[in-house]
Each structure stands twice: as C-alpha cells, then as structure tokens.
Structure 1
Amino acid sequence: MDLEMVDVDLRSATRSLPRTDPSKAGMRRAAAVALKVMPVPRARGVRVRTSREGGARVRVYRPPVQRTDAALLWVHGGGLVIGHPRQDERLASGTAAALGMTVVSAHYRLAPEHPFPAALDDIRAAWDWVQRHAAELGVDPARIVIGGESAGGGLAASVVQLLHDAGERPLGQWLFCPMLDDRTAARTELDAIDHLVWNNVANRFGWTSYLGQAPGASVVPPYAVAARRTELTGLPPAWICVGDIELFHDEDVDYARRLEQAGVPVTLDVTAGTPHGFENWAADTAPARMLVTRAQAWLGELAGVEPGV
C-alpha cells in the first residue's frame, strides 16, 4: 500500500512498523514472551490487579475515583493467534481514569493451539466473573459494556450475541476495527493488496486457525463469526470504528449498517487514512488521541458520565 494513502500524522509511525508473520510458530512464541514482559504505560492513579478463578483469568483496572457503576469488559486483539491484555494497558487504564469506570480485561486462549470455542468460552467466563464480583467492584451487573479491538472486537461482538440469546443484556458494545467476517479472508484477490499491519494472508491464517477449517465455508458454528449472524434485532447499542484503508473496512461498515437496519443504535466512526489498530501502536499521534476521545465520549454517555469531569 502506498504510504501516501496514510494520514500524514501517522506516516512516521507506520513506516517504522515491523513486518510480522503470525503463521510462524516461533514468531507467535516470541510475541507471547514480549507481551508479558514489555513495559506498559499506565494512567496515573489506576490500580491494577490480576485474578484467576475457575475458567476466568482477568486483569482489573480500578480508577482513582469511581464515578459510575457501569463497567467495561475488554477483549484484546491479535488476529485470534497472538495477544495479551497488557498490550492494551494504555487504553484500558486511560479509560478507567477518564471515566471513573472499572475496566476488566479478559485473558483468553489462542488459536491454533486452542481453536473455537476456547476463546469464546474464556470471555464468557470473564463476563461471569464480573457478574459474581460486581458488588465488591461497586458495579451494577446490568450495566456492563463489552468492547475490544480487532480480533478482540470480533470476539466481543460474538459474546454479545451469545449473551443476548441467553437472556443476558450487555449495556453496549464498543468495537475498535473489529475482525468480524471470515468471508473476507476467503477473498484471495485481496491478497494482492498490501494492507498495513494486518493483511489478508495473515487474516486467512487467523481465521483458519480459529475455525479449524478454511474460511468462507457455507456453514460455521453459531457464535464463531459475528458477521454471519442474520438476526440482529435487540442487540445492544454499538460504537464501531474502522479505518478507510484497512482490510476490515467493508465488513465493519456492512455490520454497522445491518445493525442499524435491525433497529440497533449505532455510531460508526470511519477514520480517513488510518491503518489497522493505529490508536494502539500510534497512540501519541493526533488522529489516535482524537479517536480515543470520541470513543470515550460515547462510552461515557452510555455510562452517564463525562470524560475527565
């Protein structure tokens, strides 16, 4: 992809991004080690602890001053094959501080070693953990938003569907450039486009690893692929962002429109000239800061608080 297509404020950070191949087991192992030990920025005053209980492993962010009884259950990205909650420390702790909101980040098992439904089961276990510990967290169990980035956004959307069908209703869904549709990976003509950060070759490996079959099959298991669901009526309000030059643009815009057609309140934030996940790896740039500000404003309105007030 021509760097000229990238927002000028992001070009320097984009140019320095390393090339990775998630299909290589050695790369995945190295990423796992790095994510566990790398220094992570954290918002001042936010208290962080980890908890493991039964099938749930969570990283909990408590704000300096709690200003809402709503909470966020967060799901990290990584193409379904890599990733760790610590990679989103800045966003998770910053959101806790900005909104006075408790944030719980879910650990989940990764493919290909742990294909579907392992990740979904682990995130559901994290949801159940929040429900059980709501009183000690000062959280209303009926006011939990589920959010995530990239693969985490797709998993979040699937868990929202699962909970809806089980008679449980998350307060909302907060989805950053979500990985929603395996059928994109089946479009081999997209392989010729060098989508920055996450291209379709990597996308095919991620979906194949997770599904245990080639993406694009006529049938997939329920809740395995969020965009495959046809009945979207009654799902909670959604905020969805995606860059206009990234691989997931079309599938994210289509899902947002289908939610809207089903009567679900949707805010779709399409950012110009922004590669996949830029709010994470280019967090200090103006486009990233502005996107996170808009995202937190939506989340704060849903929770009944104003950011930073």
Structure 2
Amino acid sequence: MTDTLTRPPFDPELDAALTLMGGFPAVTAEMIPAMRSQPMGPGQDPQELLRERGFVSRDVTIAGYKGDDIVVSVIQKGDRTGTGPGIYHTHGGGMIIGDRWGGVSTVLDAAERTNGVIVTVEYRLAPEYPDPYLVEDCYAGLVWTGEHLEELGIDPTRLIIAGASAGGGLAAGTALLARDRQGPALAAQLLMCPMIDDRDATTSARQIDGVGVWDRPTNVVGWTALLGDRRGTDDVSIYAAPSRATDLSGLPPAYIDCGSAEVFRDEDVAYATRLWEAGVQAELHVWAGGFHGFEAFAPHAAVSQAAVAARDSWLSRVLGA
C-alpha cells in the first residue's frame, strides 16, 4: 500500500489549468520512447521563438564524457557586439527526455537585457546512457564554455549555470564538479524546481502521488533510468544526486524555486537550508499552490507571473542588468 499524505492544495488558477489539460498520468519506462517523439512541454517551438526575437544560434561539436562527440548550441542576439554575461543551460526532462532547446526561453529575456550569450548542452539521456554520462556531459560543456570565454564575448566574472527540473539537478551537480575539479568559475547557479534527491523519502514526495505533474512514481522511473539498482543505496555520487553532498561550502550563490505542491519541494528547501548553513548565499522561493513546472503550463496565472518576475529580478541583480 502506498504511503500517501494529504497534499497542500493547488492554487485555484493552476488547478483549473490542470483540469483543462486533463491531468498527467504517471510515466513508466515503457513510455519513454513515445515521450521523446512528442514536444516536451507547452508553448511555442523554441527555435521559432528565437527567430522571432532576433536571436541566432550555431552548433558546436565538442568532446563529452569519455571523449564522445556531443553538441552545444551558442545563442545570442543577431546584432550582438562586445562582451556580456554567459548563461550555461542544462535542459530538463527527468533525465530521460528533452533536448537542449527545452527551457531556453526562460533565460532569453535575461540574455537580451544584459547583452548575454546562452550556451545550451545536448547531454545524453538515461537509460541508454546512465550516470555519470549526463552530468559529465554537462560538465564537459561548461569546460568548453570556460575555455572559449573570449571568443564567445563572455565576461569571465559573469558566467552562471541555469537549469530546471532534471536540468536543475544537473546544474547543481555540475556546479559541484566545477568546485571540486577547480573548473570554470561560476558567478551563480539558477536551480529551478531542481531534481536532486534519488531517495524518494521526503514528505512532499509522498504527498504528490497520482496527482499533479511529475508525481512520485514518475520520479522513481526517472531516477531508476539514471541509476539503475543503485537508486536509493549508498552507491550514488553527489554529482548525480546533489542532495547527498555533505559539504556545500565554496559553491556559487544560488536561486532555488519550486511549488508547495510538488515532489521536489522538500529536497529543494533542504538544499537551500544547507547552502545557508555552509555560508553560501541562496535565495529560496516556494510558490503557494504550485505544481511542478506550473509557470510553463499556466503562464497567465498570477502565481506564475510572480514566480517569473522574482526569477528575472534575481537574474538582473546577478548579471548586472
């Protein structure tokens, strides 16, 4: 019998949007191939959006984990000149779906305001490529970015990492790798509803079971694809599941947000708390009534607009807009 608890209510506007969308069934491993053939989330095609807003992109093939070829895309305004900040982006998708274009739209405004450059990485996906492929591919992309700052027109003091959901977890893991390997210096880390704990033991994980977006059984599928039989054991690295890190000192300032009614709430709050305990600057927002990824699924809801505004305010402060 599943040990579930009463969850906090969804925000009324979000609840209505969720009802209109018809709900989200739990993901199984057998569903992964079909999910990859569909758009990952709502909204406009990312590359069409880039064109409409005057951004251009170019693909670069680089060496990923074990020297295998992976691709990063460099995105900037078509008329960009000079130097500005860099945003290194790791996409979401539960470790199992998605591509480097997913979620880029969340940082376009910041790049435009600040004359910035976005570098987004096509890391390989589980289960075909289990841990550590994903985080090592992400780290390889960050190293490439750090080695090409001058060519990219990136101010070395304003390079940040950003990701949502699984991408948030990979961003946190990549930041830990950069610290421990003395890699590229990061000015900040933007961790949007990050997926950072494989143990599935929090209250919020037990509350979000059979309801909302990315529920507890789905989360288990994602982590199992990444870690296999190691999920939930002591044989899991801090770079795969950053919640397991015992030393968070020396990390860059963080922005962490999540909804009050999503699986990742408690692990994200705990991570922010432990960053503070380690003397790291962190800003935490838990949006009342928010399900996972609510601002993307219901962008016109008041709470969604507040969440985006808070995130953009932090980005402006960090990037010097």
Give the structure 2 partner of residue 76 of structure 1.
Answer: 91
Q: 1:173-208: per-residue Cα shift (whole Å, max 9, x none)?
A: 100000111112698982773341111111111111
Secondary structure of 1:145's partner? strand
Encode CA deviations 1:39-62: one digit per residue, 9 max, x unaligned: 333461222332222334112220
Deviation at 1:249, TM superposition (A): 0.7
Q: Which among 10, 19, 28 is matched to residue 23 of structure 1? A: 28
Q: Which stretch has the larger CA shift, 201-210 or 59-68?
A: 59-68
**Contact 2:230/2:236, CA 8 A, preserved across alignment:** no
With over 3 angstroms needed to count, the CA separation of the structure-2 counterparts of 1:80 and 1:185, relative to structure 1, is: farther
Q: Any unmatched runs of 5+ in structure 1?
A: none
Match of 1:103 in 2: 118
Query: CA separation of 1:7/1:155 partners in 2, compared to 1, >3 Å: closer, same or farther?
Result: same
**Is residue 2:64 matched to residue 1:59?**
no
Map of 2:250 onto structure 1: 234
Q: Deviations over 1:97-132 (max 9, x none)?
A: 243321111111111111001101110111122123
Aligned residues with identical type, % of pairs: 36
Moved more, 85-94 or 225-234: 85-94
Q: Is the aligned partner of 1:5 residue 2:19?
A: no
* 8 Å Cα contact 1:176/1:242 also seen in 2: yes
TM-score (norm 1): 0.88
Q: Which residue is 1:149 aligned to?
A: 164
CA deviation map 1:188-235 (0-9, x unaligned): 982773341111111111111111225321332342210100011111
Partner residue of 1:248 out of 222, 242, 264: 264
Q: Are 2:38 and 1:39 equivalent residues in the alignment?
A: no
Q: 1:158: which partner in 2?
A: 173
2:67 aligns with none
User: Partner amino acid for 2:91?
Assistant: H
For the 8 Å contact 1:22–1:81, the answer to whether it is kept is: no
State the alpha-carbon separation in 2 of the partners of residues 72 and 198 from structure 1.
Answer: 26
- Structure 1 stretches (4+) deviating beyond 4 angstroms? 1-4, 64-68, 185-189
Of 103, 120, 134, the residue aligned with 1:88 is 103
Secondary structure at the aligned position of 1:141 is classed as strand
Contact 1:61 1:93 in 2 (8 A): no
SS in 1 for 2:161: strand
Partner in structure 2 of residue 139 of structure 1: 154
Contact 1:70 1:140 in 2 (8 A): yes
Distance 2:150 2:204 in 1: 49
Equivalent AA in structure 1 for residue 150 of structure 2: A
Would you say the 8 A contact 2:193–2:264 is kept in 1? yes
Pairing partner for 1:291 from 302, 307, 310 = 307
Structure 2 CA distance for partners of 1:51 and 1:266, relative to 1, 3 Å? same
1:225 equivalent to 2:230? Answer no
Instruction: Kindly provide the CA deviation profile for residues 229-272 of structure 1, in whole angstroms up to 9, marking residues without a partner as x.
Output: 00111111000001111111111001100000110001001100
For the 8 Å contact 1:185–1:204, the answer to whether it is kept is no
Q: 1:186 to 1:202 in 2, by over 3 A?
A: farther
CA distance in 2 between counterparts of 1:149 and 1:222 reads 18
In 2, the alpha carbon distance for the partners of 1:107 and 1:252 equals: 25
Q: In structure 2, do the counterparts of structure 1 residues 58 and 12 end up closer, same or farther at CA, with 3 Å as the change threshold? A: farther
For residue 71 of structure 2, what is the amino acid of its counterpart?
Answer: R
Distance 1:172 1:188 in 2: 27
Shift of 1:4: 9.1
Q: Is the 8 A contact 1:184 1:251 kept in 2?
A: no
Counterpart of 1:57, as a letter, is V
Residue ranges of structure 2 left out of the alignment (5+ in a row): 65-69
8 Å CA contact 2:97–2:125 kept in 1: the answer is yes
**Contact 1:185–1:207 (CA<8 Å) still a contact in 2?**
no
Deviates more, 1:247-256 or 1:277-286: 277-286
Query: Do the aligned partners of 2:204 and 2:263 also contact (CA within 8 Å) in 1?
Result: no
Contact 2:100–2:122 (Cα < 8 Å) also in 1: yes
TM-score calculated relative to the size of structure 2: 0.85
Give the paired residue count. Answer: 304
Contact 2:96 2:222 in 1 (8 A): yes
